[in-house]
A and B are shown apart, each in its own frame.
Chain A
Amino acid sequence: MTSVPLIQLTGLRVEYPGRGGDPVRAVRDVDLEIREGETLGLVGESGCGKSTLGRAILRITEPTAGSIRLLGREITGLRGTAFRQIRADLQMVFQDPFSSLNPRRRIADSVAEPLLRGRGASRADASRAVDELLDLVGLGRDAGRRRPHEFSGGQRQRIGIARALAPSPRFIVADEPVSALDVSIQAQVVNLLADLTRERGLTMLFISHDLGVVRHIADRIAVMYLGQIIEVADRDTFFGGPAHPYSEALLSAVPTLDQESDRERIVLAGELPDPAHPPAGCLFHTRCRYAVDRCRAEAPALRPIQPGRTVRCHLPLVPADIPAPSTVTTGGTTQ
């Protein structure tokens, strides 16, 4: 808490021109800190803005407003050489590694590229580094001579990881990196990512719709709904019992393999609201089974309620140890 976070987002906003003329706010004024060395799991359903947020942090998608600080240094305004230098510190692992690899290039050249371009490494140094990286991700250096189509999905994701690691970045955004993989292969890649981030002290934003995967790799969890962060909590705190009604519904909807599960299945009513015309008050109130009049009128702020937990809800589902700034009653179910 005392040190400067590796990544600090303040009021980060991304808007797209909408179909009807109204802008669609994909990311709504996100405040978020990612600490050095941690893996933050970012979860939410399709269209919640999690991928857009991940891309905006790397400025693959330019934010409309707000600030991104890397170790305290503002990077939103950086251009040219200054940005290219920073860019090598910020890398991305994509869901579909095939589409991010040039089919005609040898693997070794694809992996070396960010090292040559971002770090200005010599050919000889880059080639040595690529050999080491291919060994590290379990493919072996001989893989460098081959081309993408010769590899299976899991192997291609290993190539994608090697490529992201090549310039020795400080921060990696992994966007659904294992979603397209078979479950037996998915486990291999999750383990690989966990090992590499730990061994290299890497900081990672791990974006996924799969709460089970996130639980196995993340130190903290952030949940998005309609472009907003609605809960951030330490991993065990979160899975021990989410504080936001949407987190609760999301978690309860995951099919369980437990033979005797007493989990209550919460089926969310209705559909996701149109992001171009979000509801007034709390954005989740239209589907929330605990909503009261206040939720329909007044938008809740993201506020700390317990050590290691912030939530954007007037009536969080766990008792607030930290008093709210205004007079708020704690409601919902407490266990």
Chain B
Amino acid sequence: MTSTPTGPASANPAPADPPAPVLSVRGLRVEFDVPAGRLPAVAGVDLDLHAGEILALVGESGSGKSALAMSLVGLNRAPGTHITGRVEFAGRDLTTASEADLRRVRGRDISVVFQDALAALNPLQRAGAQVAEMIRTHQRISRARAWQRAEELLADVGIANPARNARAYPHQLSGGMRQRVMIAIGLANDPTVLIADEPTTALDVTIQAQVLATLKRLQAEHGTSIVLITHDLGVVAEVADRVAVMYGGRIVEQGTRDQVLYSPQHPYTMGLLDSVPRVDGPVAERLPAIPGSPLTGVDRPPGCGFAPRCAFAHADCDTSPPELVNRYGEPGHIDACLLDASARHTARTPAAVGGRP
């Protein structure tokens, strides 16, 4: 996007002049037809992705984080899916864009990296050829030049001996290398936006560390804006600039990484943070757990989706879904929780959220 002449200032823009978002989601609803009725996977989301940032979408099963990410590039348009709202990118709405337009956008402007690299890669095609093919889909460039560029990209994502590994078939590569091939394919056309859906979930921690370092480096060197979908708060702490926490199809809290992780406002975020078993710090006698289970069915509570599991819920929580606005957090730190400051303070005491003694 437009680069400001003062380099350091762009990392911390003045609040008076916020940069225009690269990607903007407004009032998005994604509903799936299921035997029991209509499943509201995404139940009304507003979200902005800014230039050059890593935005983490955090949530558990059924939170809607993947459904949201897939609708950013029109990947869930199958019959039985109902999408309303807008996804604005480069002056147009991707929810209504034609399939042909979307194909031009996908892989060139916005690309997606999936969790399961083995399923997403073609087993019969060499790794380098799959990267080269993605380049040639969107650029007029010779085969030889595309192959050369593919080797460069494989080197970029940290694959050792790229010339040799470009000639390998997916099954000859380790899980971490396959995931990096997927990232190389995602970066083939230097996209503005990279959507990474649980890119390290299937990987061992030592490999995960390598892949996360790769994402960080790409953000720094190419200015790529990244939407990182994850359930792992450790990963969020490691790489995210901003965080949106999803629950039951809605964003319940959003802010900078430090705001959300170290000064959480929503009892669900607090409970999630408490229940992560850590390798450092004191060992709790019991892991603080959130009682009950996440929302997965078609029937949703009329008010706050988390209220049935929240130890602090009161009558008002059951009337209508709370708005996602700035309440008690720093400027820019927004949440959808009706609790007042003192109740939030109480909730923040470790183990308070988990109702089970």
Residues of A within 8 A of B (CB): 45-46, 152-155, 182-188, 190-191, 194, 209-213, 215-216, 235-236, 239, 249-251, 253-259, 261, 263, 265, 267-268, 270-272
Contact A182 B206, beta carbon cutoff 8 Å? no
* Pairwise interchain contact B261-A257, C-beta atoms closer than 8 A: yes
Residue of A nearest to B284 (CB): A216
Complex CA–CA separation, A236 to B288 (angstroms): 20
Give the CA-CA distance A191 to B276 in the complex, in Å: 13
Q: Give, as a whole number of angstroms, the nearest-CB distance from A46 to chain B.
A: 6
User: Which of these binds chain A: B25-33, B127-135, B232-240?
Assistant: B232-240
Instruction: Determine if B294 is an interface residue (Cβ-Cβ < 8 Å).
Output: yes
Chain B residue numbers with a CB within 8 Å of A211 are 205, 279
Residues of B within 8 A of A271 (CB): 174, 176-177
* Chain B contact residues, CB within 8 Å of chain A: 60-61, 160, 174-177, 204-206, 208-210, 212-213, 231-235, 237-238, 258, 261-262, 271-273, 275-281, 283-284, 286-291, 293-294, 296, 354, 356
User: Which of the residues A46, A152, A259, A268 comes within 8 Å of B293, measured between beta carbons?
Assistant: A152
Q: Verify B286–A215 contact, CB threshold 8 A.
A: no
Kindly identify which residue among B175, B271, B287 contacts A190, using a CB–CB cutoff of 8 Å.
Answer: B287
Q: Which residue of A lies closest to B258 (CB)?
A: A259
> Is the pair B205, A216 in contact by a Cβ cutoff of 8 Å?
no
Classify the interface of chain A: helix, strand, loop or mixed. Answer: helix
Could you jot down 24 A-B contacts, CB within 8 Å? Answer: A46-B204, A183-B60, A183-B231, A184-B271, A184-B272, A187-B287, A188-B356, A194-B286, A211-B205, A213-B277, A215-B283, A216-B284, A249-B206, A253-B206, A254-B234, A255-B208, A255-B209, A255-B234, A256-B280, A258-B280, A259-B261, A261-B280, A267-B210, A268-B206
Chain B residues lying within 8 Å of A187, measured Cβ to Cβ, are 275, 277, 287-290, 354
Q: A152-B293, A183-B231, A267-B206 are in contact. Are A251 and B60 (CB under 8 A)?
A: no
Decide if B277 touches A190 in the complex (CB within 8 Å).
Answer: yes
Return the 3 tightest CB-CB contacts between A and B, nearest first.
A255-B234, A187-B289, A212-B277
- Nearest residue, chain B, Cβ from A212: B277
Asked if B209 and A257 make an inter-chain contact with CB atoms under 8 angstroms apart, the answer reads no
CB closest residue in chain B, given A152:
B293
Q: How far is the CA of A250 from the CA of B356 in the complex (A)?
A: 33
Which residues does chain B contribute within 8 Å of A257, judged by CB atoms?
A: 233-234, 237, 261, 273, 276, 278
Bound together, the chains give a CA A192 to CA B277 distance in angstroms of: 15
**Cross-chain contact of A259 among B233, B262, B287 (Cβ < 8 A):** B262
Q: CA separation between A236 and B208, bound complex, in Å?
A: 25
Known contacts A46-B175, A187-B290, A191-B286: A255-B237 contact under CB 8 Å = yes
Cα-based distance from A186 to B60 in the complex (angstroms): 11
A186, B278: Cβ atoms under 8 Å? no
- In the complex, are the beta carbons of A209 and B204 less than 8 A apart? yes
CB contacts (< 8 Å) of B289 on chain A: these are 184-185, 187-188, 191
Give Cα A182 to B176, complex, Å. 23
**Most A CB atoms within 10 A — which of B210, B272, B287, B288?**
B287
Cα(A131)–Cα(B22), bound, Å: 57
Given contacts A45-B204, A209-B204, A257-B273, A185 and B209 within 8 Å (CB-CB): no
> Could you say which of A216, A257, A267 has the most chain B C-beta atoms within 10 Å of its C-beta?
A257
Query: B234, A45: Cβ atoms under 8 Å?
Result: no
> Do A191 and B293 contact each other (CB < 8 Å), given the known contacts A183-B60, A211-B279, A255-B235?
no
In the bound complex, residues from chain B placing their C-beta under 8 Å from that of A239 are 279-280
Given A215-B279, A257-B237; 10 other pairs, CB 8 A cutoff:
A155-B293, A183-B231, A184-B289, A187-B275, A209-B204, A236-B283, A250-B205, A258-B237, A261-B280, A267-B210
- By a CB distance below 8 angstroms, the chain B residues around A212 are 276-279
Cα–Cα distance between A254 and B235 once the two chains are bound (Å): 9
A74 to B274: give the CA distance in the assembly, Å: 44
